[in-house]
Structure 1
Amino acid sequence: MLRPLPFLSGALALAAIFGALALRLTLKTQFDQLLPEDQPSVIELQRLRARIAQGSSISVVLEGDDPGALRRTSQAIVRELEEHRPPWLVEASDGIHALQEFLRPRIGLFSDRRRLASLRDQLQDAWDATVMEAGGLALGLERSPQLPPLEEMSSRLLPADPALSRLGERYPDGYYQRADGRALVVLVRTSIPPGQIEAARAAEERVRTAVARAREEVGALSVRVGLAGDLVTGLSEYSAVLSDLVGVGLLGLAMVLAVVLLFFMRVRALAALGLTIAVGLALTFGTAQLLIGHLNVATAFLISIVAGNGINSGIIYTARYLEVRRGGTGVAGAVRVASTATWLPTFGAAVAAAAAYGSLGLTSFLGLKHFAVIGGAGMLLCWAATYAVTPPLLVLSERVRPLRFDPPGELRGWRALRRGGLQLGDPFVALISRAPFAITALGAILTVGSASLALQYLREDRMEYDTRKVQNDLRSATELYRVSALAREILGVHLESSMVVLADRLDQVLPLKRALEARRDSAPAEARPFEAVHALCDLVAPDQEAKLPLLQDIASVLRKAHARGLVSAGGWERIAPILPPPGLEPYGLADLPEQAARPFSEKDGTRGRVLFIEPTAGQDDSDLRYLLRWTDAFRETVLPSGEKIRGSGRAVVFADMLRSIMTDMPAVLSASLLLTLLAVVVTFRRGRLSLLVLGALLTGVIWLLALLQLLHVRINFINFVALPVTFGIGVDYALNVVQRYGTGEGVRSAIRNAGAAVALCSLTTILSYLALLGSINQAVRSLGLVAVLGELCCLAAAVLVLPAALLLRERRASRAGACPPGLRESP
């Protein structure tokens, strides 16, 4: 390292290029982006998106004590948006007025034809009797036929379909208004698909402006306004995740660098390692931009993790460099010794960590594949950055201000601490020297006792099935969730809560609907997969040609009866709106109002091929067990013709993601363990030292699984990462301790020298994971918890149990006059 400046300049120039690339990374938060494009559910989802507009919506929730003021305000909002129509607006409505106006005179068409015929005959008999009595031609019957009671006539005219009945009961005046009148919703549908953040922000601001103008126009400034809907919720969660990503990353970096400074007690060490890890991060995330192009919900927090793990090589190198310099060796000699002594174990550790991350690539879950690419590349690139940046920085720092080390016997307090740094290895040396047998015995007892708990954890189903425990914990968004709940209460189970199935032809719709309903009805009552299947044809009454003459006859009799005063004015007001006007014609899909047809329409205007699968009442997709049952019920349906119709949507994609993790978990864990084993064997090339490393790793993993069992920690699609990564990261500590031990040093010397750096490596990694505990996302927090437990277990096994066992072996060999076998091996 005679010319450090050109070497360092080249590394920094490369880091600057990759850093510029890293700044172009975007954040994608949609779950459907986490599965490969050849997944059947993703293929079907893309087909749906190509044919159906995938817009998002905003619910403007108005609250106040004056129901009339709420209606005037809602009308003004709708008018403001329609008159100054933004290009993304699909529809703004405060109720189902158009649909009610269309269906009200046709509602009798949904009634049973035999009931209509019976009512027509009963009314006609009563009218004929009335006419004959008026003409003096009484039949002489004991009781003449009478008009049925008004309630009976209404019930026989109204449809038996509960969905249509509920529609009228929920919105009797047509408004999306709560029964007590104190809350009303304006539903704003947009053409903005999920994930288009800038367009969504502009739409939200435009709606807020329209609301402000409407309130001012009608003088309803006392009306309280809140926004909800998937567009608003998506924006809120995206902003929270972005802020969380920056906050967690900066916190992790700050804690890692702070502990580095405390350990080495030298600013030059902090500067060297800080710049080294900055270069490593730039290379890592620049590579991510080139290979992937974005971050997702699984990889967004890798900045802190890569920093905490990737700095370990630099810590080992710097610690060895300062150790050699304290011994009186010059700069060139210290660089040479540090490089020669540390490159192999640190490279082995980096390869093992990269292999552990790489094992995640075996899953079909893209979120974990990307985690594997970025994490694995990060470990190797941070290792490369260590040997490209740290040595020249240390050499340059010595040229500016050479290191001076006073004799240790002359130093006390701060000066002694600054000379040797924070001796993290001393407590471990003191402990294992005092009670090696007790520590070894306790470690063995804990391992044997933990083995049964670990096996129990592996045998049981430990997946997290409650998605509420893996979502963002947005305490600051309490008002948003309150308003969202109120909107759901008013709107009911809306089509946005349902999943979509798209038929290829109109003639497939009814057979598909019947097949799905038959599947639902064949399930036990407590395991109904869904509530209902909705199609646009539900709004087209069957057998209209036969029913219309009956309804016209009924209407004719009632109009004549009303003209003669046989129907009261109040009764007529109630029944007249549901009577067909003269000349009413049969109607079809094309005649339905746009408000009703829009959810069932495709981009090219085709109506009726879209079906919605409504979730079972009282169930939602926060319960993954129900989600699996729900999605399996419509994932693929075989029609009587033999044709197959597939369903998709966010629920199906999420279910596939869950299945992917459950199916691939054993393969990922096995691959991680085998790759770690291979990395260790290649590093040492001899069996005994490799077995020592793997024994310590296995001990730590057994303890970790036992703790997860005792703490009832469930596995989700994020914290699952910690299990295979523990193999690759946890082996680092035992590997470096055994490497020093294998060079001929005694156990205590190896722990005192290497153990301090190993403890610091573990501490930086633990701090990078501890930063995750401050995340707003519960799944990310659980990742931090599992990873911290894994680090602590592997560290304890590497610097306590393993050295204690080796010290016992060393003492026995010393009493026997033999050299411990481990000292005769070289790495």
Structure 2
Amino acid sequence: MRIIEAFVRFSERRRVVILAVAALVAVAGGYGTFRLYADLRPDMSELLPANSRSARDLEALTKRIGGFAELSVVLAGKDPLALQLFADDLDDALKDAPPGLLRWVEYRVDEARDFFKPRLLLFLSREELASLRDTLGARVAWERARQAGKAEGPAPDVEGLVDRIAGERKGLLGKFPSGYVMGEVPGHAPGETMTALAMVIRLDAPPDDYRDVVALERVVKDTVRRLEPEKAGIEVGYGGYVANNILEHDALAEDLVWATILVLLAVAASVVVYNRTWKAVFAVGAPLLVGTFATFGLAEIFVGHLNSNTAFLGSIVVGNGINVGLILFARYLEDRRRGQEPRPAMVTALANTWLATLTAALAAGVSYASLLSTDFRGFNQFGLIGGLGMAFSWLSAYAVTPALVLAWERRAPIPRQGQRPARPIFTYAISAIVERAPRRMVTVAVLLSIASAVMVVRWSRDPIEHDFRRLRDQSALADGGPGWWDQRVDALHGDHLSPTAILARDEGEARAIANALDAHMRATPDTTFGHVLSIAAFVPEGQEAKLPLIRELRALATPENLSFLSPEKRLAIEQVLPPEELRPFGAKDLPDMIRRQLTEVDGRVGTPVLLYPSGRMDVWNGLDVRRFARELRSVPMPRADLPMASSTLVFADVLDAIERDGPRATVLSLLGVVALVLIAFGLGRRSVRSLGDALGVLAALGVGVLWFMGLAGALQLRLNMLNFIALPITFGIGVDYATNIFQRRRVDHAGSVADIVRTTGGAVALCSLTTIIGYSSLLIARNQALISFGLLAVLGEVACLAAALLALPAAMRWRERSRARAAAAQATAQASDHGTRGGTDAQPQP
């Protein structure tokens, strides 16, 4: 107590210095906070461990071949010719885009088709060429014999052989006969179709460079606007990485602003209503502001940016961190309203709250710190910032509040003279239940626990969310959103548009990789692989050896010899017949639209291999995504350390990291909180009496967590990359409430449990309310992952608060009554026994 008295005297004497230092910390931290929030990165790759294979490979590939981040521009209308003309005009106009912003535009295939058609026979094997030559020669001979009436047997099936070979090379012949990536896709109304032309614009910058991402979209949209597509009856939609990334970023930024405003207003209103004075907002809020700005200022130094997991930590830190100041100031205000002078009231408040609030803050900090044990950046960065927030919230509350409040009291008293302590109606109702029906409340708690245990068992069989659509912005998949247009682009191409890039050392290794993938696809009918774009697909081997066979075929395929074919088949064969001067070609001879996709930044051609996911798989389904990743990584490759990266592999690794790191963080959080409570409550000498108190706190926490998980199971809330965090931090934050109840019980030993609920219960409920407000701010977000986190965390708060204010006090009151009855019965028995003995002793002796 002497140390606390000395600290309060020091705070009052040096109040100006303390408040000036706090202001400087707030200003410096505020500058860092502004810089931190200015760098918001919603890309999923920001969540992966920096040393994970996906992250390393993505960085290596981006350096060597650049990024494949794209902006899809989809033109839809009734007139195909108008779509083609507009696409050509847009392509020409985009040539004036600022340098270093746009790599290329993909929307026409006629250049590649015109290049490959006369060279198509070079892609056949020597065996196929020989078979085609022999079959065609036999058919020509059979036709001549038929004209002479000497034909025997059926005609050699040239048509069937040509159809089979053409079918196997459909990609080379081209699926877009118009020369444009255009076709019929599902329309806006069910059962409706529309003609769409897809243009893919590749970003010439790393995908995590958000400024260039925004600049590309702005340039493209401005260019489209100048061309006035509406005059040609053309609807323009946008999709791809760029459009989706910007949508997610803007939604996060907008939600952050509204969430922050709502949290501040709601928390301030709650503090005013409970404490019945507007001065409480400044007494509690100013120290919290210092701690919050210090937290995010340091986060700017240690982390440097926010991701989709940490974006809303400001609201959460405010909602959680304010609890320390609320408990401290509520106790101070209670004693002031009872007539104590400011300095003694502050001494009493500090002495009676520091251990409970420190234990609660450390417990929350331990829960956040447990996330630091993970490699998943979506968890460990959240844990670092949250842990700093809890530490600085406690430090700022106890370092700044005495100086601030005592300085204020010198000018004007904070509570009104004669004002009674706050006793919310809520706590009166709770205390009445605890006082009058403790056994009934305990029975209800036991039944709820049993039901929750059943729900937890069912929920644990499949707890992970695998549908990534439920983690996106709600408007992304709506009609006209980026995800909606992406589905139309995928429908045009048949396979999904985002490839997995595999990088070889040289052309020979690239061919070996492509051959391994092709062999796997032939051996796996239900493969998740789509088509492979590589040097092997566009530059066939052994061209020189094939030329003699091709010349023989050309000599046979004269108009006279092909007269037996239908006009359509004859025209098709004549189009692929090579010119007389046909020569072998290499990678550098390929048309630009093909060559640029197989070229590294330094100009080397032929080393990248691009594997596109099959259109049969759902790239937003985690089970399909993980199957694709496992399948790809199981294919025997020339070497094990081949760099390979894509958004698909990132998704798969995110799910793996959640299942690996989430349970570990949860267990560490639980162990840390248990150890902390045992130390603080089991070894405390002044404010806590025995190990039994610590076990009581942990029992309340256990019941609260069981109810919480039972509610999650009943509502079928699945865990994802963000809301998994709610499990470990619920341990640390949920233990706060039972801790404060037991702490007040030890200090006011003579008071009943119902009295404690009426007094401390109000402050505990207010602490929970502010935390719930912080979490509830996530419920207004458009990002469904954030909504799920907010909902899960709110359920955890409500469950732990109910356990601390209802189940725990009811059990304590029931035990008090039982002991009281037992003591009364024992006293009655003793009195009766004493009376009997006394009556016997009074009888005269014979």
The two structures have a TM-score, normalised by structure 2, of 0.87
Change (3 A) 1:568 1:687: closer
Change (3 A) 1:603 1:476: closer
Q: Counterpart amino acid of 1:540?
A: V
CA–CA separation in structure 2 for the residues paired with 1:210 and 1:448: 63
Choose which of 661, 673, 677 in structure 1 pairs with 2:674: 677
Pairing of 1:16-165 with structure 2 (within 5 A): 16-25=27-36, 26-82=39-95, 86-111=99-124, 113-121=126-134, 141-143=148-150, 156=161, 160=165, 162=167, 164-165=169-170
State which drifts further: 86-95 or 798-807: 86-95
Residue 555 of structure 1 contacts residue 579 of structure 1 at CA under 8 Å; is this kept in 2? yes
CA–CA separation in structure 1 for the residues paired with 2:671 and 2:322: 24
Pairing of 1:341-740 with structure 2 (within 5 A): 341-403=352-414, 405=416, 407=418, 420=422, 422-458=424-460, 460-474=461-475, 478-481=479-482, 482-494=484-496, 496-520=497-521, 525=525, 528-559=527-558, 561=560, 573-635=571-633, 637-639=635-637, 645-684=642-681, 685=683, 686-740=690-744
CA apart distance, 1:127: 6.9
Residue 537 of structure 1 contacts residue 589 of structure 1 at CA under 8 Å; is this kept in 2? no
CA–CA separation in structure 1 for the residues paired with 2:146 and 2:47: 80
CA apart distance, 1:801: 1.5
Residue 61 of structure 2 contacts residue 644 of structure 2 at CA under 8 Å; is this kept in 1? no
CA–CA separation in structure 1 for the residues paired with 2:691 and 2:490: 64
CA–CA separation in structure 2 for the residues paired with 1:399 and 1:326: 16
CA–CA separation in structure 1 for the residues paired with 2:103 and 2:472: 30
CA apart distance, 1:236: 1.8
Residue 201 of structure 1 contacts residue 235 of structure 1 at CA under 8 Å; is this kept in 2? yes
CA–CA separation in structure 1 for the residues paired with 2:159 and 2:509: 34
Residue 61 of structure 1 contacts residue 487 of structure 1 at CA under 8 Å; is this kept in 2? yes
Residue 700 of structure 1 contacts residue 797 of structure 1 at CA under 8 Å; is this kept in 2? yes
**Residue 287 (1) aligns with residue 328 (2):** no
Residue 350 of structure 1 contacts residue 380 of structure 1 at CA under 8 Å; is this kept in 2? yes
Match of 2:95, SS state, is helix
**Residue 340 (1) aligns with residue 362 (2):** no
> Where in structure 1 are there 5+ consecutive unaligned residues?
409-415, 819-827
CA–CA separation in structure 2 for the residues paired with 1:557 and 1:451: 80
CA–CA separation in structure 1 for the residues paired with 2:275 and 2:724: 34
Provide, for residues 604-656 of structure 1, a one-character-per-residue CA deviation record: whole Å limited to 9, x for no partner. 222222222332332133221222221122236544x7765353333223322
Match of 1:797, SS state, is helix
CA–CA separation in structure 2 for the residues paired with 1:251 and 1:178: 47
The two structures have a TM-score, normalised by structure 1, of 0.89
CA apart distance, 1:86: 4.0
Q: Counterpart amino acid of 2:177?
A: P
CA–CA separation in structure 1 for the residues paired with 2:778 and 2:288: 19
Choose which of 2, 20, 43 in structure 1 pairs with 2:12: 2
Provide, for residues 478-526 of structure 1, a one-character-per-residue CA deviation record: whole Å limited to 9, x for no partner. 41333333222223325x4221222223222333334344445555x55
Residue 90 of structure 2 contacts residue 224 of structure 2 at CA under 8 Å; is this kept in 1? yes
CA apart distance, 1:330: 0.6
Change (3 A) 1:209 1:39: closer
CA apart distance, 1:396: 3.0
CA–CA separation in structure 2 for the residues paired with 1:771 and 1:90: 40
Change (3 A) 1:352 1:568: closer
State which drifts further: 576-585 or 399-408: 399-408
Residue 126 of structure 1 contacts residue 146 of structure 1 at CA under 8 Å; is this kept in 2? no
CA–CA separation in structure 1 for the residues paired with 2:205 and 2:466: 31
Match of 2:620, SS state, is coil
CA–CA separation in structure 2 for the residues paired with 1:208 and 1:353: 47
CA–CA separation in structure 2 for the residues paired with 1:651 and 1:502: 16
CA–CA separation in structure 2 for the residues paired with 1:567 and 1:695: 86
CA–CA separation in structure 1 for the residues paired with 2:477 and 2:56: 37
Change (3 A) 1:569 1:653: closer
State which drifts further: 237-246 or 545-554: 545-554
Match of 1:54, SS state, is coil
CA–CA separation in structure 2 for the residues paired with 1:127 and 1:778: 67
**Residue 800 (1) aligns with residue 801 (2):** no
Residue 98 of structure 1 contacts residue 593 of structure 1 at CA under 8 Å; is this kept in 2? yes
2:329 paired residue number? 318
CA apart distance, 1:83: 5.6
Provide, for residues 701-758 of structure 1, a one-character-per-residue CA deviation record: whole Å limited to 9, x for no partner. 1111222222222111211111111110011000001001012132122111111100
CA apart distance, 1:52: 1.2
Q: Counterpart amino acid of 1:246?
A: V
Choose which of 203, 207, 227 in structure 2 pairs with 1:190: 203
Residue 166 of structure 2 contacts residue 173 of structure 2 at CA under 8 Å; is this kept in 1? no
Provide, for residues 538-574 of structure 1, a one-character-per-residue CA deviation record: whole Å limited to 9, x for no partner. 1223443343333333334444639x99999877654
Q: Counterpart amino acid of 1:539?
A: F
2:283 paired residue number? 272
Change (3 A) 1:512 1:168: closer
Choose which of 317, 332, 344 in structure 2 pairs with 1:306: 317
Q: Counterpart amino acid of 2:296?
A: F
Change (3 A) 1:633 1:475: closer
Provide, for residues 76-111 of structure 1, a one-character-per-residue CA deviation record: whole Å limited to 9, x for no partner. 112222366744222224311210110011122334
Change (3 A) 1:161 1:671: farther
Provide, for residues 305-325 of structure 1, a one-character-per-residue CA deviation record: whole Å limited to 9, x for no partner. 111110001110111011101
Pairing of 1:208-287 with structure 2 (within 5 A): 208-215=221-228, 221-287=232-298
Match of 1:420, SS state, is coil
Change (3 A) 1:139 1:769: closer
Change (3 A) 1:600 1:268: same
Q: Counterpart amino acid of 1:435?
A: A
RMSD of Structure 2 on Structure 1 (CA): 3.1
Taking only the aligned residue pairs, the percentage that are identical comes to 34
Change (3 A) 1:474 1:83: closer
Match of 1:311, SS state, is helix
Residue 672 of structure 1 contacts residue 724 of structure 1 at CA under 8 Å; is this kept in 2? yes
CA–CA separation in structure 2 for the residues paired with 1:793 and 1:568: 77
Change (3 A) 1:293 1:392: same
Change (3 A) 1:225 1:774: same
CA–CA separation in structure 2 for the residues paired with 1:330 and 1:570: 103
**Residue 296 (1) aligns with residue 298 (2):** no
CA apart distance, 1:153: 5.8
CA–CA separation in structure 2 for the residues paired with 1:775 and 1:140: 79
> Where in structure 2 are there 5+ consecutive unaligned residues?
1-10, 185-192, 684-689, 825-846
Residue 248 of structure 2 contacts residue 783 of structure 2 at CA under 8 Å; is this kept in 1? no
2:177 paired residue number? 172
Residue 773 of structure 1 contacts residue 780 of structure 1 at CA under 8 Å; is this kept in 2? yes
CA apart distance, 1:762: 0.9
CA–CA separation in structure 1 for the residues paired with 2:164 and 2:344: 94
Change (3 A) 1:681 1:70: same
2:187 paired residue number? none
Provide, for residues 132-158 of structure 1, a one-character-per-residue CA deviation record: whole Å limited to 9, x for no partner. x9xxxx999424799999xx7676557
